Amino acid sequence: MLRGSCRWSPIPSALVASLQAVYYCAPDGSEPVDRFIDGLSVKRRVVLDNQIDRLNLLTPSDPHLPFPHSSQIRGELRELRCHYGRELYRVLYRRSRNLIVLLHIFRKNSGDVPQAEIDIAEARWKDFRERMDAPRRRPPRAAGHDAP
């Protein structure tokens, strides 16, 4: 997975697992999960990136990491359970066909996942689905010398 870019670039299928983890990209082009990870120390970034890379090993026939690496939150919303020493981090994600969309990340300080964190992930999922399901727009018609 390439960090720091909303753009998708094709990789030869022989090199790609069946499922691919991608960062949720907001309408303004920002990637909140990537931005959060970039704000951490190098050691923490490496640990989180290694856990996220586990998602890239999944296949349609084996679509979830087992507990304790991952667990279901609600419906198809899942959490990737990461830790650095005693620090707990959670990456909330959902699957969209062959993509695993990383919607939200936070440092966990309590027993249950706070509802506010779930709400953020669900709002981002709704935005992702609306933009992915939107009909394709016609490009603007050329003007000036290029006009038909």
Which residues, at least 6 apart from 125, have a Cβ–Cβ distance to it below 8 Å? 77, 94, 101, 103
For residues 131 and 136, give the distance between their C-alpha atoms in angstroms, rounded to a whole number. 10
Which segments within the chain are labelled E, that is strand?
A: 20-23, 70-74, 77-84, 87-96, 99-108
Report pLDDT for 68: 81
Q: Is residue 9 part of a domain?
A: no
Estimate to the nearest angstrom the gap between the alpha carbon of 44 and the chain centroid.
Answer: 18
Report pLDDT for 117: 96
First to last CA, the chain: 41
Q: Is residue 112 part of a domain?
A: yes
pLDDT, one tens digit per residue, over 101-138 is 999 999 998 888 999 999 999 999 999 999 888 887 67
Report pLDDT for 61: 73
Q: Is residue 4 part of a domain?
A: no
Q: Is residue 140 part of a domain?
A: no
For residues 60 and 145, give the distance between their C-alpha atoms in angstroms, rounded to a whole number. 50
At 52, which helix (H) or strand (E)? helix 42-55
Number of domains forming the structure of the chain: 1
Q: What domain range includes position 56?
A: 15-134
Q: What is the CATH number of the domain that holds 61?
A: 3.30.2310.20
Report pLDDT for 11: 46
Query: Which residue ranges of the chain lie beneath pLDDT 70?
Result: 1-17, 137, 139-142, 144-148
Q: Is residue 147 part of a domain?
A: no
